[in-house]
């Protein structure tokens, strides 16, 4: 299978069950283009699921009141894939910090599902995604 025919494997990391459920439905609705390999509520669990080698980890910055930014390098290293930050935090400095730690993009939780899917595709292809548009 080539990159074009192999489903993009996505790991979802968010502390909201409702968000995980909605994202899971959105991404699984794109099968065979995309598939969810796991849904977890914290960064420690994400590190375990990295063994499933997701292509893209969609990572919430704020997990149970704690920042997940420090986990970005470990997630990238362990999974071999890219990190796309999925956040409601609107602080540009926090976004820059995520990118400097190795995230390939930042997409807002307020973005429509189609934008989230496009962001996942762009990051999967190794192209940065910031502020709703490819860079």
3-state SS class at 35:
strand
**End-to-end CA distance of the chain, in Å?**
28
* Complete domains list, the chain, with CATH: 8-85+104-134 (3.40.50.2300)
Residue 132 has a pLDDT of 53
Residue 135 has a pLDDT of 42
In tens digits, the chain (135 residues) has pLDDT values of: 455 679 999 999 999 999 999 999 999 999 999 999 999 999 999 999 999 999 999 999 999 999 999 999 999 999 999 999 999 999 999 999 999 999 999 999 999 999 999 999 999 999 999 765 444
- Phi and psi for 14 in degrees, rounded to 5? -155, 145
Residue 112 has a pLDDT of 96
Rounded-to-integer distance, Cα 126 and Cα 54, Å: 14
Burial of 114 (0-12, 13-18, 19+ CB in 10 A): exposed
């Amino acid at each position: 299978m080539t990159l074009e025919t192999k489903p993009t494997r996505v790991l979802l990391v968010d502390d909201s069950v409702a968000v995980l459920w909605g994202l899971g439905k959105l991404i699984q609705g794109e099968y065979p283009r995309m598939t969810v390999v796991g849904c977890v509520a914290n960064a420690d669990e994400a590190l375990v699921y990295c063994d499933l080698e997701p292509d893209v980890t969609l990572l919430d910055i704020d997990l149970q009141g704690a920042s997940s930014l420090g986990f970005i390098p470990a997630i990238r290293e362990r999974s071999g894939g890219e990190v796309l930050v999925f956040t409601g935090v609107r602080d540009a400095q926090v976004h820059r910090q995520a990118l400097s730690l190795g995230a390939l993009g930042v997409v807002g939780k307020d973005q429509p599902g189609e934008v989230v899917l496009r962001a996942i595709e762009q990051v999967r292809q190794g192209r940065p995604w910031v502020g709703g548009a490819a860079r």
